[in-house]
Amino acid sequence: MRVLLIEDNEDDAQLIREALTEPSSQITGLAWADRLETGFARLAEGPVDAVLVDLSLPDSHGLDTVDHVRARAQDAPVIVLTGLDDEAVAEAALLRGAQDYLVKGRLTGDSLRRAIRYAMGRHHVEQALRKSEERFHLACRATNDAIWDWDIQTGMVWWNEAYETVFGYRLQGREEPLTAWTERLHPVDRTAVVSELMDRVRSDLQLWTREYRFRRADGTYADVIDRGYVIRDPGALPRRMIGAMSDITGPRQLETSQAAQLAVSMALDESLSLDEALPNILRGIGEAKRWTVGAFWSALPQNPALRCTMLWHQPDWPADAFVQAYRTLSLRPDRGLAGRALTGGEAVLLSDLRLERDSPLATIPGSHDLRGGMAVPIRKGKAIIGILEFMTREVLRPDATQLHTLTDLGSKISQFIQDKDLERHMRQGQKMEALGRMAGGIAHDFNNLLTVINSWSELLLSESPPSSRIHGGLTQISEAGNKAAGLTRQLLAFSRHQVTKPQLLNLNDRVTDILDLLQRVIGEDIELSVSLNSTLGPIHADPGQIEQVVMNLVVNARDAMPHGGRLELETREFQVAPPDALWPDTLRPGPYVTLTVRDTGCGMDPDTLGHIFEPFFTTKERGKGTGLGLSTAYGIVRQAGGTIGVETASGQGTTFTIYLPRAHGAIDGRVAPLPHLSPAAGAGTILLVEDDDLVRGLAQAVLHARQYTVIPARNAQEALAIAESNPGRISLLLTDMVMPGMSGAELVSQLRRLLPNIKVVVTSGYSDRGTEIQESFGSTVGFLEKPYTPDSLADKVREVLGAPAQASTP
């Protein structure tokens, strides 16, 4: 050991040297200084293991000497040597940092050496403790964890600076009672957390770890993980507990967001519609993000108010009164959390709902403990159809990440709606196409039968006395046949096989022309409102068919309002952009003219909505409707290149919107009808081609009665053989369009190679084939729609035979 002695009395210094330099003393070096300044110089030469100092030096006196020496010899213990035996001075010296106080007159060699060894030991312990405390405090300052030290005996808890930095609590002396921490635990977590902590203290275990929610000074809650270590005395009694509380809000929010995304994805994957998915969506997001309440507010275009249509809440929340009141609530678009999301068109976050002015929650029982909330719009195309809303008993921090997460969830749900709409429209389109083919086929075959029934009844009527019983029966047969022909025309309209005479027209004119008729149809109990766009562009459609569409939709609206209501007709222009091309049906992007028919009637549920355009589907009582009104309207509009969109809900009325492509050019005048040609005798040879024996026999009889020579053929191959054997004899070809083997169009093409000047009349139960014939052969071929009558057949043959001959090739 190396010792420095600062003593101005040379005799005392010599005695001390002799005591310390005995062979057994382990003192390897002793330096002596007679003044404090000289002692400092010796300290500068190298470190020592202990300093012995007198309090009465020429250049320093009293307890200040202890302070001066300790400042220069921080790594060595200081022992005071004095001739004054004064306990007060001794105590003061020890308080100043001296390790011992020795009276010179009582010193022996052994006691001095022992005092030096003990002083060095105590000093080393103190140094180690001081370094440990320094490291501890540096660690407490360097970490973001809230370090705590709980004195179990006093109940006081010490916190480091991070407690204030992370959680916002300013503590005097950085101490507070344990009850302050307990009160800041989330109410849902408090009982379990405190119970587990106390169980750990009472047990023989030392480590404790727990995740829970902890309230910040601003009232919001943080997710934390807390780890503690119990310190026990030799008797195993708990004395202290030291630990660290880490804020894991960020990682936990990421986990809960991923859980919410998964819950929404699963709910959507397992559902066919939004209504089916919503209960699982509300529960999934609510449980993952620990919301207290979740709601879906429906937004209907014809009603500006929001209506709560679905509600979820945590099972442990007493919500009976709240649920009953909230489910009946209607919100204006500018009120409440959901109203803000609707008005702004984006996700919103309110930190504290209690601070909102005119909050709708103020009138709802049981809502007093709801604090923070978030809401996000749900879209169908560009339109907002609803709002997802969530509320919690916690105050929320403004959090862009949380808003982004909820926005993503809203976008996922909106995309699901768009995808399901696309699937539904594809399925509906395929179903309607199949129904159209079936309806067209039935109408074609039925028209062949009606041609025979109606024509023979007309022929027989002309030959029977009006007063006879047979005449009366034939009259009823004829009337029934004509009604049946009307049904087939409606079927053909639905299947888009109806003959049309499209022209440029103004939709406003068509509505105006039938306005008086519409008013008579709907009656006095229904208020009619008409709004026509004065700058409406033209459309290309059959005017009669467009009037039929309007009439069918108005009649449908009237039937939905048996006790009166309001009916609105509105025309406008609409631009279909690529994102809208599949809504409400497959439409080419571009300008459209629309007619909206909006009623305040009973509306329709989703199941009914899925069938309204199907032929023969009706919700009316048996015998009060054919179920062809809407299907006919749909077929006419689709044949014109447009579609019909529908918005409806049970009890909320229905809105039909007709979309028709906007045309270009000047509007034509009305097309004058062709004059009726009365039956008259004819001359010439007609090649009659018809695969149906009954129709062929009828046509042959009618034409024979009109003095025509008729050569019948059952199919195209037989007709070609007849034509080859009679090249100069045949004046006109009368052929069915649809036949097994070669079609009527193919027959016309081949026959004109043999007989370039032959005149042609084509018949078909598919009335749109007339347009197809005109496109293929121009005006050189006549078209006769089935079912025809003897007069209409004779008129068409006479008309075509009387026209100038025109050589034509396809």
Q: What CA–CA distance (Å, rounded) separates 802 from 785?
A: 20
Burial 764-774 (b: 16+ CB within 10 A, else e): bbbbbbbbebe
Longest dimension (CA), the chain: 172
AA identity, residue 496: R
User: What integer pLDDT is reported at residue 410 of this predicted model?
Assistant: 92
User: What integer pLDDT is reported at residue 300 of this predicted model?
Assistant: 67
Mean pLDDT of all residues in 4-10: 84
Query: Which range among 146-155, 244-253, 407-416, 513-522 shows the weakest confidence by mean pLDDT?
Result: 513-522
Report yes or no: 731 and 686 within 8 Å, Cβ to Cβ. Answer: yes
- CB neighbours of residue 296 within 10 Å: 23
Query: What pLDDT digit, counting tens, does each position of 29-40 carry?
Result: 778 888 888 888
Q: What CA–CA distance (Å, rounded) separates 485 from 493?
A: 12
Beta bridge partners of 378: 386
Query: Which range among 301-310, 538-547, 781-790 shows the weakest confidence by mean pLDDT?
Result: 301-310
Q: Phi/psi class of residue 66: alpha, beta or left (left: φ > 0; alpha: ψ in -120 to 50)? A: alpha
Nearest CA-CA partner of 221 in 167, 265, 169, 271: 167
* Overall pTM > 0.85: no
Instruction: Categorize the per-residue pLDDT at 436 as very low, low, confident or very high, splitting at 50, 70 and 90.
Output: low
AA identity, residue 476: Q
146 burial (CB, 10 Å; 0-12 / 13-18 / 19+) is buried
More confident residue, 331 or 720: 720
Name 194's Cβ contacts closer than 8 Å, sequence gap at least 6: 182, 185
Query: Crossing angle, helix 400-463 and helix 249-269, to 10 degrees?
Result: 10
Cis peptide before 787 (omega within 30 of 0): yes
- List strand residue ranges (DSSP E) for 87-220, in order: 100-103, 146-151, 156-159, 175-177, 207-215
Q: What strands, in cross-sheet order, belong to the sheet with 759-764?
A: 709-713, 685-689, 732-736, 759-764, 781-785
Q: What CA–CA distance (Å, rounded) separates 485 from 785?
A: 11
Query: What pLDDT digit, counting tens, does each position of 80-95 carry?
Result: 888 777 888 888 888 8
Q: Scanning the structure block, which residue is given the tokens 């079609």?
A: 743
Instruction: Categorize the per-residue pLDDT at 388 as very low, low, confident or very high, splitting at 50, 70 and 90.
Output: very high
Instruction: Categorize the per-residue pLDDT at 761 as very low, low, confident or very high, splitting at 50, 70 and 90.
Output: very high
pLDDT over 90 (residue 525): no
User: What integer pLDDT is reported at residue 248 of this predicted model?
Assistant: 92
Instruction: Categorize the per-residue pLDDT at 280 as very low, low, confident or very high, splitting at 50, 70 and 90.
Output: very high
Mean pLDDT of all residues in 545-566: 87
Query: Would you list the DSSP string of 175-199?
Result: EEEHHHHHHTB-HHHHHHHHHHHHH
Distances (CA, A) of 446 to 221, 494, 515, 760: 75, 15, 35, 24
Q: What CA–CA distance (Å, rounded) separates 315 from 287?
A: 10
Mean pLDDT of all residues in 743-757: 89
More confident residue, 425 or 344: 344
| Overall size of the chain counted in residues | 810
Q: What CA–CA distance (Å, rounded) separates 428 from 722?
A: 47
AA identity, residue 699: A
Cα three-residue angle 572-490-616, rounded to 5 degrees:
100
Mean pLDDT of all residues in 761-777: 69
User: What integer pLDDT is reported at residue 808 of this predicted model?
Assistant: 45
Q: What three-state secondary structure class fits 372?
A: coil
Q: What CA–CA distance (Å, rounded) separates 401 from 542?
A: 56
Tell me how far apart the terminal alpha carbons of the chain are, to the nearest angstrom: 127
What is the β-pairing status of strands 78-82 and 100-103?
A: parallel
pLDDT over 80 (residue 641): yes
Q: What CA–CA distance (Å, rounded) separates 797 from 437?
A: 30
Query: Which range among 65-74, 353-362, 563-572 shows the weakest confidence by mean pLDDT?
Result: 353-362
Cis peptide before 675 (omega within 30 of 0): no
Q: What CA–CA distance (Å, rounded) separates 214 from 401?
A: 20
Report yes or no: 391 and 372 within 8 Å, Cβ to Cβ. Answer: yes
Q: What CA–CA distance (Å, rounded) separates 385 from 278?
A: 13
Report yes or no: 683 and 718 within 8 Å, Cβ to Cβ. Answer: no
Q: What CA–CA distance (Å, rounded) separates 550 from 633?
A: 8
User: What integer pLDDT is reported at residue 29 of this predicted model?
Assistant: 76
Nearest CA-CA partner of 54 in 18, 10, 19: 10
Query: What pLDDT digit, counting tens, does each position of 185-198 carry?
Result: 999 899 999 999 99
Cis peptide before 584 (omega within 30 of 0): yes
User: What integer pLDDT is reported at residue 807 of this predicted model?
Assistant: 47
AA identity, residue 575: Q
Query: What pLDDT digit, counting tens, does each position of 470-517 carry?
Result: 877 778 787 777 777 766 665 555 444 455 567 899 999 989 988 888
Query: Would you list the DSSP string of 760-804?
Result: EEEEESSTTHHHHHHHHHGGGEEEEESS--HHHHHHHHHHHHHSP
User: What integer pLDDT is reported at residue 26 of this predicted model?
Assistant: 66
- CB neighbours of residue 309 within 10 Å: 14
% of the chain at pLDDT higher than 90: 27
Report yes or no: 291 and 622 within 8 Å, Cβ to Cβ. Answer: no
Q: Pick from 154-168, 353-367, 472-486 the range whose average pLDDT is largest.
A: 154-168
pLDDT over 50 (residue 581): no
| Structural domains of the chain, ranges and CATH numbers in brackets | 2-139 (3.40.50.2300), 143-247 (3.30.450.20), 503-661 (3.30.565.10), 685-802 (3.40.50.2300)
pLDDT over 90 (residue 353): no
In this structure, what token pair is assigned to residue 629?
Answer: 């009104």
% of the chain at pLDDT higher than 70: 85
Mean pLDDT of all residues in 638-648: 85
Nearest CA-CA partner of 634 in 487, 785, 436: 436
Nearest CA-CA partner of 260 in 281, 241, 285, 243: 285
User: What integer pLDDT is reported at residue 686 of this predicted model?
Assistant: 93
Report yes or no: 683 and 659 within 8 Å, Cβ to Cβ. Answer: no
pLDDT over 90 (residue 210): yes
Cα three-residue angle 625-630-636, rounded to 5 degrees:
130
pLDDT over 90 (residue 238): yes
Instruction: Categorize the per-residue pLDDT at 676 as very low, low, confident or very high, splitting at 50, 70 and 90.
Output: very low
Q: Phi/psi class of residue 46: alpha, beta or left (left: φ > 0; alpha: ψ in -120 to 50)? A: left
User: What integer pLDDT is reported at residue 671 of this predicted model?
Assistant: 40
Name 24's Cβ contacts closer than 8 Å, sequence gap at least 6: none
Distances (CA, A) of 197 to 147, 162, 202, 224, 442: 16, 22, 9, 15, 81
745 burial (CB, 10 Å; 0-12 / 13-18 / 19+) is buried
More confident residue, 616 or 801: 801
pLDDT over 70 (residue 444): no
Distances (CA, A) of 270 to 203, 260, 278, 279, 281: 48, 15, 11, 12, 11
